[in-house]
Amino acid sequence: MIKKPHQAYTRKEKSDIIYGIHSVKEAVEAKREINKILIQKGISKESFEEIRTFLTGNDYVVQYVPIQKLAQLTSGNHQGIAAYVSPIEYQQIEELAEQWLEAGVKPFILALDRITDVRNFGALARTAECMGIHAILIPTKGSALVTADAVKASSGALNRIAVCKTDQFKNTLFHLQQLGIRIAAVTEKTKVAIEGANLRGSIVLVMGSEEDGITQDILNMADLRVTIPMEGTTSSLNVGVAAGIAMFEKTRQEKNR
């Protein structure tokens, strides 16, 4: 039996990561969408000052990580910094909502409260695009953002639907509410079955994290709290499945006016 020659392992670099001071600085100056910046713990004072200079005035999510983390993510000289760049351009939900309302369009928005799994996020986006969602709203921190993996999991749907992120998730929802768009929270903390609630018209459908659901502050401000009735003994549905059911119910009601 002839043995195949040993092949050295080559790290496959992620397409949404850039690294090195010069590359990250160029991305910042070009105003590229950056999801997160990783800076090496214990980086030299000179390098830190150079990085701090071009990051000043920009509101990025910054995380300080061990050098081993950067080495795992990159295959060259990272110089103590790497950045996750977004494959899409995020949009402003306030501007979009006002444009839709002025045009007589009734917005149908999916708001994801701390959905952190990238594959779940991608699958949710795929279903949302199929169900006619106008935009997906996510918080800047504590949430999965749009990455190459998320786009792949969405089967490309994230390239065809508006994605908006906000630093003030609750305040943004309140702004939409003030525009006349009702907030509908899908939660186990109610006895109102989703098929018995009126979801017609302009709606923000809020889905919460799989760990603890929707934040209490957002539940308190919701115009509607609805639940998905279940016959089995399992305590809850996967958030992607629950969102799919809720979005379908909304579209079903619109078609059966």
What's the pLDDT band for 14 if we cut at 50, 70, 90? low
Q: Which of 7-11, 36-40, 129-133, 205-209 has the lowest mean pLDDT?
A: 7-11
pLDDT at residue number 217: 95
CATH class of 93-255: alpha beta
Domains 17-85 and 93-255 are alike in CATH topology: no
Take residue 209 and report the two structure tokens written for it.
Answer: 């994290």
Burial 109-133 (b: 16+ CB within 10 A, else e): bbbbbbbebbebbbbbbbbbbebeb
In contact, 176 and 204? CB cutoff 8 Å = yes
At 24-66, the pLDDT tens digits run 999 999 888 899 999 999 999 999 999 999 999 888 889 999 9
Highest mean pLDDT among 10-14, 61-65, 135-139, 145-149: 135-139
How far does the chain reach from its first CA to its final CA, in angstroms?
71
Fold of 17-85: 60s Ribosomal Protein L30; Chain: A; (3.30.1330)
**Tens digits of per-residue pLDDT, 210-235?**
888 999 999 999 999 999 998 887 77
- pLDDT at 1 exceeding the cut of 90: no
Find the mean pLDDT for residues 73-99: 93
Q: Are the C-beta atoms of residues 93 and 174 closer than 8 Å to each other?
A: no
**Residues in CB range of 161: below 8 A, 6 or more apart:** 125, 128, 129, 133, 134, 135, 136
Phi (first) and psi of residue 103, to 5 degrees: -85, 0
pTM of the model: 0.84
Does 11 score more than 60 pLDDT?
no
Structure tokens at 204: 């923000």
Tell me the average pLDDT of the chain.
90
Cβ burial, residue 245 (10 Å; 0-12/13-18/19+):
middle
Question: Does 5 score more than 70 pLDDT?
Answer: no
Give the C-alpha separation, 243 to 165, whole Å: 19
Which one-letter amino acid corresponds to residue 256? N
Q: Where are the domains of the chain?
A: 17-85, 93-255
